Amino acid sequence: MREIDRLARAIPRCTACPELRAYCARVAREKRRAFASEEYWGRPVPGFGDPQASIWILGLAPAAHGGNRTGRIFTGDRSGDFLFAGLHRAGLANQPHSVACDDGLSLRGVWISASLRCAPPGNRPTPDELETCARWLDAERSALANVRVVFCLGGIAWNAALDLEVRHGFVLPKPRPRFGHGARFCAGGRTLVGCYHVSQQNTFTGRLTPAMFEAAIAMAVKESGSRAAGSRSSPRSRTAGPRGRSPNP
């Protein structure tokens, strides 16, 4: 079994944060009225995408009624609508929507995961929770051998990516490189590219526009040396997500 497949099985079983697990399970029981007939995932959400990815998109955490419902990160919520539409325009996804694990979405040259794998109350993870969950970033880093760019959605992901490289031997300069939209920082063999998070708060207010996202992801593609963009017709991986047991068959 590939290491990335092993992680897809192991992450949903993680119980390192009992309070977060209890919150996710409670959300899954109580549900939102619009999804009352659905069975929520209600567990930690693993990453998904192309195991040969050169670009690793790192978000904040699953949404309570998005990833925590569908079992796939950025799937079933407005943030995902914005993100996957942008990836589709860039030629990195075979379709512009992401509504469920069996919706046929495939990514090319891209892996997506989050700094925290359980949905946190108020979408606000604590520093302790992020530190505890960093174990899965370490494991993913080892499994994703071809990653050249970490595309950080927001400041929390940026700092998680920096800390990840530090844990693996990179010495940070002082002052610490700061997150910004379009920020770029070379941390050893990997380049961090910053992009405002695709949250509704940012996209509905115009803080992050589709054009801004396109420019940032184009920078990531260029930095990665990826040949993925512009190849919509031949996605590299089918991503069934954790409910299909193998995220990348």
CA dist 167 and 226 (Å) reads 26
Half-sphere exposure of 56 (CA within 13 A, CB side): 27
What is the smallest separation between the CB atom of 195 and ligand SF4, expressed in angstroms?
A: 23
CA dist 101 and 38 (Å) reads 13
- Contact between 63 and ligand SF4 by CB under 6 A: the answer reads no
Stretch of residues binding ligand SF4 (CB under 6 A), selected from 93-101, 114-122, 152-160, 234-242: 114-122
> CB-based contacts of 102: which residues, under 8 Å, 6+ apart?
240, 241, 243, 244
* Structure tokens belonging to residue 167: 């844990």
- Contact between 137 and ligand SF4 by CB under 6 A: the answer reads no
- Contact between 133 and ligand SF4 by CB under 6 A: the answer reads yes
CA dist 61 and 157 (Å) reads 9
Stretch of residues binding ligand SF4 (CB under 6 A), selected from 111-119, 138-146, 149-157, 174-182: 111-119
- Contact between 64 and ligand SF4 by CB under 6 A: the answer reads no
Amino acid at 35: F
- Contact between 208 and ligand SF4 by CB under 6 A: the answer reads no
The correct pick among 3, 9, 21, 200 for binding ligand SF4 (CB under 6 A) is 21
- Contact between 118 and ligand SF4 by CB under 6 A: the answer reads yes
What is the smallest separation between the CB atom of 157 and ligand SF4, expressed in angstroms?
A: 15
Q: Which residue spans within the chain are E strands per DSSP? A: 48-49, 55-59, 106-107, 110-114, 149-153, 184-187, 190-195, 237-238
- Contact between 184 and ligand SF4 by CB under 6 A: the answer reads no
Binding site residues, ligand SF4, CB under 6 A:
11, 14-17, 20-21, 44, 116-118, 129, 132-133
